Amino acid sequence: MIELKDVSKTFTLHNQGSAVIEVISNVSFAVAPGECVALTGASGAGKSTLMRMIYGNYLTQAGEIRIGGLDIVRSEPRDIIKLRRDVLGYVSQFLRVVPRVPTLDVVAEPLRALGVPAGDAQDRASALLTQLNIPERLWPLSPTTFSGGEQQRVNIARGFAHTYPAMLLDEPTASLDAANREVVLSLIEDAKARGAAIIGIFHDAAARARVCDREIDVSRFTPGMAA
């Protein structure tokens, strides 16, 4: 479902003496439907960078990244937008929303973008928010004023609203208590069971051991960091 072939990335900082920083070189791996792969490595090894490259958020200088057949390294913006709407979900560490939009609508939005009627999308959003223990009295409020853990849970609800065939999860269990961590892990297990291909970053070793089938040490691909 997700396939990387000889992928490399450099950052060129034009305004800082045109410094060229090699961050990732020659990564190749594949993730099959129903499989969850963990990216590991020390902080700064390039886990999030690699994940952002797979999402098309960072440009990839060399190689191929195929998701459901589409090579996002060489795709037009509109094809990537369509891929993100239908196929590829991403739960980032931070919630980014239009201010003043109610939480329920924030969570329902990915479904609304797919053309799901408002009522059905809100039903699904309500179910997820309930499951993630966001009290109903908060649903009409914008999540911008919520606590860190609440925002993270809203972000996860939004990320799981649509049943994407491929998902990227950046620290989905960070800043969650035991009960909510359990809910998130079961959401991931459900997604795997329905055949989603998942790539995740988990600092929580127990969570990683439970949901991930394989680990890929990103520092192997980081120039200057490999031993």
Partner 1 sequence: MTPLLSVQGITKRYGAHIGCADVSFDLYPGEVMGIVGESGSGKSTLLNCMAGHLTPDAGQVVFDTRTDGPRDTITMSEPERRMLGRTDWAFVHQHARDGLRMGVSAGGNVGERLMAVGERHYGDIRAKATDWLGRVEIDASRVDDRPTTFSGGMQQRLQIARNLVTGPRLVFMDEPTGGLDVSVQARLLDLLRGLVRDMGLSAIIVTHDLAVVRLLADRLMVMKSGRVVEAGLTDQVLDDPQHAYSQLLVSSVLQV
Q: Based on the shown chain and the rule CB under 8 A, indicate whether residue 57 belongs to the binding site for partner 1.
A: yes
Q: Is 70 in the site for partner 1 (CB under 8 A)?
A: no
Nearest to 23 by CA among 43, 50, 5: 50
- Closest distance to partner 1 from the beta carbon of 53 (Å): 9
Supply the Cα-derived Rg of the chain in whole angstroms. Answer: 18
CA distances in angstroms from 38 to 29, 35, 99, 193, 226, listed in the order given: 12, 10, 33, 17, 18
99 lines the binding site for partner 1 (CB under 8 A): yes
User: Does the protein bind partner 1 through residue 12 (CB under 8 A)?
Assistant: yes
Q: Which of 22, 34, 64, 80 binds partner 1 (CB under 8 A)?
A: 80
Closest approach, Cβ 123 to partner 1, in A, equals 19
Minimal distance, residue 135 CB to partner 1, in Å: 23
Number of H helices, E strands in the chain: 7, 9
Q: Would you call 177 helix, strand, or coil by DSSP?
A: coil
For the segment 138-177, give every residue that binds partner 1 (CB under 8 A). Answer: none
Edge-to-edge strand ranges of the sheet holding 166-170: 88-91, 166-170, 197-201, 36-40, 214-217
- Least separation in angstroms between residue 116's CB and partner 1 is 12
> Any contact of residue 59 with partner 1 (CB under 8 A)?
yes
78 is an interface residue for partner 1 by CB under 8 A = yes
Tell me, what DSSP letter sits at residue 87? T
Q: How far is the CB of 192 from partner 1 (least distance, A)?
A: 27
CA gap 222, 40 in Å, rounded = 12
Residues that bind partner 1 (CB under 8 A): 11-15, 52, 56-59, 77-78, 80-81, 96, 98-101, 112-113
